Structures are given as C-alpha cells and as structure tokens.
Amino acid sequence: MSLEQGDAIALSGADRGTLTTSRAGQVATLEFPRGALLPLLKDPRRGCAHRVRHDSVALRLLRAYVEAAHAAASADTALPQLVVAHIHDLAALAVGAARDAAEQANGRGVRAARLQAIKQDILSRIDRDIALDALASRHQVSARYIRMLFASEGTSVSEFVRDERLKRARSLLLRPSSSRRPIAEVAYAVGFNDLSYFNRAFRRRFGQSPREMRDGNVSPVDRAEC
C-alpha cells in the first residue's frame, strides 16, 4: 500500500508488520487500548490496514484536536475522559464508523473538534477583523452552525473574540516593556478599533481601567518617569 504525505493508516496491534517510508520525515502514531475502536467501526476487518486519505475531514479534525489536547495537557496528567471520547469518535469516523457511532460522533467529537479548530483560527487572527462568513467559509460550515457551537458553551462568537482580546491586552499591559506604551496602542494591537469601548469593556472584565492595570505593575521610579 502506498501512502501520500499526510495520509494515515489504521493498523491492528494484534498483527505484525512493517512500515517503510520513501522519504525522511516524522511519523505520528496514536495508540488505542485493545479493542477500544472495534465496536465503533462499520467493518472492523476492513478498518485494519486501511488507508485514510490526508484530505479526509475526519482525519483533519482528529489531527488538530489531538495536537491541541497534547499541547494543553501536562506531562503527568491524563487526558480528561470526555477528550478521550472525542478522540475515539474522530478516529472511528476517519476509519469508517458504524451508523450509530457516526451519529454519536457527529453530535459529540466532531462538534468539539470543530469548535476547537474555530477557536484556534480566531486566536491566530485576534488582532484583525473577524468576519463570521469568512470564518465559516474557511471551515466549510455555515455561520449558523458556528453560532450554535458557541451557544452550546453559553457564549457567542463576538463575546469570545472580545474576551480573548481583553485577556491579550491585559497580558501586554502587565509586561515591564509596556510601562510607557500608550493605552491606545495596546487596544489597537489586540484588535479594538474604539478606545472608549475598550476602556469600558476592560474595566467591566477586570475591575480596573487599562491605565490602572498598567501603572499598578510599574515600579514607583518608572512611574515617575512616565
């Protein structure tokens, strides 16, 4: 079997075999407890030694979700059970899930993975305008679906964007290098276009104005020089 870059292959731990690559590079492996995926698969025998194309939506979501979960987890802490369930959902979909398992995965693992991917997309563009239609287009879903994903967490896209911008502004203001940085510059750097709105939102979120936050982190000598 020939695999292209980015492809995946499902292998049974009960079978021996070798995998040879035609070029140097990294190979990521994801191991599951014996028999954990079999009940979720439509055809377990076909699932083993089955190529999963790199352009598979389920594989793309699985890869991004696992990378995010790995980055968020500490070395000595196991993944939360819900995260593990999401990974099982996505892996089963990528290999070929049974009908009931696919329905469950689409209502659980896929939603979680899409929401995580959309949040990461937003964070990578947090200092720019976030257009919901463009966001939906990039992730090949509807704007309504994205609103539904955020609503399931009791928030909205605009609230998430505002809160992340405020947290990034706070982080900038607490840096010693920002002791003389104008507040307006910080606001614009994180994506706010209205300084008055930024000041009001910041005070509501943190109980201090941006200037109070910044000056409270500056030594008396530095404050006298500002």
| Encoded tokens for 4 | 């292209």
Q: Give SS3 for 29.
A: coil
Instruction: Look at residue 31 in the predicted model and tell me its pLDDT.
Output: 86
Query: Which strand (E) or helix (H) includes residue 183?
Result: helix 183-189
Instruction: Look at residue 226 in the predicted model and tell me its pLDDT.
Output: 35
One domain for residues 100 and 198 = no
How many domains does the structure of the chain reveal?
2
**Residue 182 forms part of a structural domain:** yes
- Give the model confidence (pLDDT) of 76-95 as tens digits: 566 788 898 999 999 999 98
Residue 214: give the domain boundaries.
160-220
One domain for residues 12 and 112 = yes
Q: Which of 30-34, 146-150, 171-175, 195-199 has the lowest mean pLDDT?
A: 30-34
One domain for residues 57 and 104 = yes
One domain for residues 29 and 81 = yes
**Residue 130 forms part of a structural domain:** no
Pairing of strands 8-10, 50-52: antiparallel
Mean pLDDT over each residue of the chain, to the nearest integer: 86
Query: Which strand (E) or helix (H) includes residue 203?
Result: helix 195-206
- Give the model confidence (pLDDT) of 42-66 as tens digits: 887 665 677 888 888 899 999 999 8
Sequence letter at residue 82? L
Residue at which a domain ends, from 124, 152, 184: 124
Please, where are the H alpha helices in 57-98?
Answer: 57-72, 81-95
CA distance 223 to 221: 5
One domain for residues 175 and 94 = no
Q: CA nearest 13: which of 41, 42, 33?
A: 33
One domain for residues 108 and 199 = no
φ/ψ bin of 127: left (φ > 0), alpha (ψ from -120 to 50), beta (otherwise): alpha
One domain for residues 197 and 98 = no
CATH code of the domain in which 201 resides: 1.10.10
